[in-house]
Amino acid sequence: MGLRGCAAIAVMSVMFPACSSDADARSEGAYCASVAANLGQLDATTFTADGDVGAALAAWREVSSHAPVAVQREWAAMTGVLDAAASVDASDTAALQTVADLARLHEPDATRIIEYTYALCRVAIGGVVPTTVPVTLPPGVTAVETTAAPTAETTAATTATTTPP
């Protein structure tokens, strides 16, 4: 093998491990594991102590870093919404309204994340089990079983709250 061939192998050995680790970080298994590990913070709706919002935001960023391409944009958008909410001055009504408007604007992103995550991981973010719109997973992707499947009580309660009248 000549010098040119050795140089090509050296370049490839530097490039492919980085690509491989990024692909591994965004694999379906890594995503489902990250969702399961951070579910408590993803489900948080009440923040009473200093650091609660920061912990939730850190969890959203962590899961976002593992989001597969199919929902990567949606995770980035929702993490941005939470970031805006975390930095808003609670006494500034105009700023609060801006964050509320931003959250409403990205509601379809939240729905997509919930549907995709439930279809892939069988984990109900926010306790919401999608009941009306099935999600088609990308070719070659199969649902990843986790131990964090919702209980019958959670399914019954969320079906009652998510089923349109």
* 88, pLDDT greater than 50: yes
Cβ atoms of 22 and 63 closer than 8 Å: no
Q: What's the average model confidence in pLDDT over 7-11?
A: 37
pLDDT, average across residues 126-135: 74
Using CA atoms, how far apart are residues 80 and 98, in angstroms rounded to an integer?
13
Residue 9, H or E segment: helix 3-25
Please tell me the distance from the alpha carbon of residue 10 to that of residue 17, in angstroms, as a whole number: 12
pLDDT at 62 exceeding the cut of 60 = yes
- Angstrom distance (rounded) from CA 72 to CA 116: 11
pLDDT given at position 22: 63
- Chain segment 97-120, per-residue pLDDT in tens: 999 999 999 999 999 999 999 999
Choice between 74 and 52, residue whose per-residue pLDDT is larger: 74
Taking only the tens place, the pLDDT of each residue in 139-151 is 777 666 444 444 4
pLDDT value at position 133? 55
**CA-to-CA separations, 11 to 3, 40, 52, in angstroms, rounded:** 12, 42, 44
Model pLDDT, residue 26: 87
* More confidently predicted of 18 and 88: 88
Distance separating alpha carbons of residues 161 and 62, to the nearest angstrom? 28
Q: Is the pLDDT of residue 77 over 80?
A: yes
DSSP annotation of 144: P
Distances (CA, A) of 86 to 16, 50, 82: 37, 11, 6
Whether the CB-CB separation of 122 and 149 falls below 8 Å is answered with: yes
Collapsing DSSP to helix, strand or coil, 128 comes out as coil
Percent of the chain with pLDDT over 90: 42
Q: Is the pLDDT of residue 31 over 70?
A: yes
Element holding 90 (H helix, E strand): none
